[in-house]
Amino acid sequence: MLDDYVQRLAKELELASPIRKETQGVYVLSIDEGLEITISDLAPGFSFHCAIAPCPKVNEETFLTQAMLANLFGQGTEGAVLGLDEEGNILTLSIENAQEIDYKIFQETLEDFLNAVDYWRDEVAETSEPTK
């Protein structure tokens, strides 16, 4: 299922290069330079994961509080979950759907996920700016 969805997505997006296959059931979609979405097959279902940006060190406590509030009921994350990498340095976003779904749901979930990634990239950039 996921293999077909990824191929269809690549065709619809008219990508210059195909979506990279890492291993069986794991694909990497490059969005911008240094920004990639990992798409994994959960059979049934799928997951998306993205390392968004380094967690801001300026106003870190305020930012992390904002991130935790965004996770509450998924309202600030389009249903995904914000987290940190193993070292606690990189802000991540992840979502899992462990149900059998059709392509339309896959596509809509990816679109919402990308919107959340963009939003949180902007939030990190804004928080990291020195106060004037």
Per residue in 40-67, pLDDT (tens digit) is 999 889 999 999 999 998 888 999 999 9
Terminus-to-terminus CA distance in the chain, angstroms? 51
pLDDT of residue 100: 87
Instruction: Kindly state the helix (H) or strand (E) to which residue 27 belongs, with its residue range.
Output: strand 26-32
pLDDT of residue 127: 87
Average pLDDT over residues 93-119: 94
**97: β partners:** 46
pLDDT of residue 107: 95
Looking at the whole model, is its pTM more than 0.75? yes
pLDDT of residue 36: 94
